[in-house]
A and B are shown apart, each in its own frame.
Chain A
Amino acid sequence: METIIQTQQTGPTPTLRANPFLEVRGLCKQFGSIQALSDVDLDIYPGEVLGLLGDNGAGKSTFIKSISGVYIPTAGTIRCEGRPVSISSPRVARSLGIETVFQDLALIPNLDAAANLFIGRELGWGFKGLLSVMRQRAMAEDVKKTLERLDIHIPSLRHDVEGFSGGQRQAIAIARAIRWQAKLVILDEPTAALSVPEQRKVLSLTRQLASQGVAVIYITHNILDVIAVTDRLAILHRGRKAAEIATKDCNEHEIVSLIMGKSKAAA
């Protein structure tokens, strides 16, 4: 068994640490005989970027899918703003203010930017649900404003996102999370397939989110991103939390060795 290194928890600032947005306790997820997550405790604070790190298969994706309603955890409790919640579907997660920007972005390729920003939450007249008549002009206006506010430029709102570049798609996916006034935004490897200027854009969007008091979980393999954008790190190793540490308290070598499952001191 691995030794779990419980590094001393030093949050960003005491004021922000007062009330966590999400408190995860003893989260477990099992797929058949495979224990993908065991006993993960994690607090997520508003206005803070939490870096979630770990090698491939460490359980990062399983963790975020468990708190965004895609997977149902096998065991464990989640408290959202102090109240115990059961996040049984993506819809429930969203109603709690948890927005996820998945690695594959979850954009529908054959729909345009506006349709993707509003998918599942279209503005409409008349009946609720499937028979609602969409207010397409209102949605297009809204999307235009959202993108302007975030300083995101895309060729045309009427084009299908299929034809967009990686950075443009990423921007649309992040804009979607922001548009719905998320309280927690989960970014899964948001810079993985982007050019350098696009990466900078995503990093600045991330900081912008945190400065507006939004909690952010930032998953990445890129150590430079970690140093640049995160306030605090949670490192997973083989489904367990191996370390939780303030970013300013460690250097990149220490982070890498923690990801590899060694202790901070070993670096």
Chain B
Amino acid sequence: MSSRIKASDLMGRYIAYAALLVLIAFFGAMAPSLFLTGGNFEVILQNSAVQCVVAIGMTFVILIGSIDLSVGSTMALVGTLSAMASVEIGGGAFFLTPFIGAAIGLVNAVVFVYGRIPSFVVTLGMLSVARGLTLIISNGTPVPIPFVGLFSSIGIPPIPIFIVVGLALVASFVLTRTTFGRYTFAIGGDEDKANVLGLPVKQVKIIVFTLSGALAGLGGGILTAQIGSGSPTMGTGFELTAISAVVIGGTSLTGGRGSILGTIVGSLVMSTLANGLIILDSWRLHRCADCADRHRAGRSRAAVDPARQDPHHEIATALLETRTRRIQHGNDHPDPADGPDPDT
């Protein structure tokens, strides 16, 4: 009986790892020269960094059987506030981001724990409140940060990746080796029993929501550094991205089971998928242009034989012309093969 439970457990726990390998193999086979490069893997990691940071906090929240829907708005509010602060106090404003986020998380926590309101409702409220505040303080326009300096250099690869690696190691240690981590699992497993056993359920919940807020704030700070401004619309829908990463990583939505490594892998699955699909698209265009090159040679024959003027040929020719024009305008790589068509 227990072995069957274990089998389904393993399935849930490790499916993300398998999915990541399958995705890398698939995209690697389809577009090796574009996908399987060090630069591209760095792009994938860089693109998933903010998601990883926020999802690490979300992992704790989901492990205790709750949910935090306010992370996206928290990112925007903290991003905007820190961008405004950077004008006054310089790049050090970045280091305020986890603290501002923690304050927002603490508000969630207190209303959730002492108001006895479901976390779904509390954080849904905070989602609107934080977004609204962001729009008010920013007047609806992005707040730029200085183009060079400490703040914007945080967004330069591989610093966000280092932040994620460090955070993941610390969070994993806390979750598996400290009493706080054990109680997090215990509350997710059975909150009533945790209470009967006299565990500090309230304190753990408050810390978990504050932590989620702090990491959402840090994520907002990194995103601001990456895009160069605190935008009031940034992080819209990010709560779903973070929850997806956590759940794909094998953490149970009902709480009590999951891991930080799983969340990181879940996050990488999502960004690898997005990256791979974009690469496949450009790879297809690339190949299409190549095939247009070949078709161009047969074009004079096509003019004689109208049956050969199939739509595919038309598209290929159009693409080729665009490419030729772009190259000519750019005036680089003059390639005799891309020269003007004798027929046009």
> Is the CB–CB distance between A134 and B179 below 8 Å?
yes
Judged by a CB distance under 8 angstroms, whether B256 is at the interface is yes
Q: Provide the bound-state CA to CA distance between A155 and B179, in Å.
A: 25
Q: Which of B6-54 contact A (CB under 8 A)?
A: 6
- Give the size range of B's interface with the partner: 20 to 34
Using Cβ atoms and an 8 Å threshold, which residues of chain B touch A115?
A: 182
Judged by a CB distance under 8 angstroms, whether B180 is at the interface is yes
> Is the CB–CB distance between A108 and B180 below 8 Å?
no
Q: Provide the bound-state CA to CA distance between A109 and B204, in Å.
A: 19
Q: A119-B182, A130-B207 are in contact. Are A110 and B197 (CB under 8 A)?
A: no
Using Cβ atoms and an 8 Å threshold, which residues of chain B touch A160?
A: 5
Q: Provide the bound-state CA to CA distance between A97 and B262, in Å.
A: 41
Please give the distance in Å from A158's CB to the nearest CB on chain B: 11
> Is the CB–CB distance between A111 and B182 below 8 Å?
yes
Closest to A176 in B: B197
Using Cβ atoms and an 8 Å threshold, which residues of chain B touch A102?
A: 196
> Is the CB–CB distance between B182 and A131 below 8 Å?
no
Q: A110-B188, A111-B186, A119-B182 are in contact. Are A134 and B5 (CB under 8 A)?
A: no
Closest to A102 in B: B196
Q: A122-B179, A129-B179 are in contact. Are A111 and B193 (CB under 8 A)?
A: no
Closest to B191 in A: A108
Judged by a CB distance under 8 angstroms, whether A166 is at the interface is no
Using Cβ atoms and an 8 Å threshold, which residues of chain B touch A164?
A: 2
Judged by a CB distance under 8 angstroms, whether B257 is at the interface is yes
Q: A111-B189, A159-B2 are in contact. Are A134 and B182 (CB under 8 A)?
A: yes
Q: Provide the bound-state CA to CA distance between A8 and B217, in Å.
A: 70
Judged by a CB distance under 8 angstroms, whether B282 is at the interface is no
Please give the distance in Å from A128's CB to the nearest CB on chain B: 9
Q: Provide the bound-state CA to CA distance between A70 and B194, in Å.
A: 12
> Is the CB–CB distance between B1 and A106 below 8 Å?
no
Judged by a CB distance under 8 angstroms, whether B198 is at the interface is yes
> Is the CB–CB distance between A108 and B189 below 8 Å?
yes
Judged by a CB distance under 8 angstroms, whether A144 is at the interface is no
Set A110, A131, A163: member contacting B178, Cβ < 8 A: A131
> Is the CB–CB distance between A130 and B197 below 8 Å?
no
Interface string of A140-178 (1 = CB under 8 A from B): 000000000000000100011011100000000000000
> Is the CB–CB distance between B198 and A120 below 8 Å?
yes
Using Cβ atoms and an 8 Å threshold, which residues of chain B touch A109?
A: 189-190, 256
Closest to A68 in B: B196
Closest to A124 in B: B179
Set B2, B190, B198, B200: member contacting A108, Cβ < 8 A: B190
Judged by a CB distance under 8 angstroms, whether A90 is at the interface is yes
Judged by a CB distance under 8 angstroms, whether B300 is at the interface is no
> Is the CB–CB distance between B199 and A133 below 8 Å?
no
Interface string of B193-212 (1 = CB under 8 A from A): 11011111001100100000
Judged by a CB distance under 8 angstroms, whether A184 is at the interface is no
Closest to B204 in A: A130
> Is the CB–CB distance between B179 and A163 below 8 Å?
no
> Is the CB–CB distance between A108 and B194 below 8 Å?
yes
Using Cβ atoms and an 8 Å threshold, which residues of chain B touch A90?
A: 196-198
> Is the CB–CB distance between B198 and A110 below 8 Å?
no
Using Cβ atoms and an 8 Å threshold, which residues of chain A touch B189?
A: 108-111
CB-defined A-B contacts under 8 Å, sample of 29 = A70-B196, A89-B198, A90-B197, A90-B198, A91-B198, A94-B198, A104-B193, A106-B197, A108-B189, A108-B193, A109-B256, A110-B186, A115-B182, A119-B182, A119-B186, A122-B179, A124-B179, A129-B179, A130-B180, A130-B183, A131-B178, A131-B179, A131-B180, A133-B177, A136-B177, A160-B5, A162-B2, A163-B6, A164-B2
Measuring CB to CB, which residues of chain B are less than 8 angstroms from any residue of chain A?
1-2, 5-6, 177-180, 182-183, 185-186, 188-190, 193-194, 196-200, 203-204, 207, 256-257
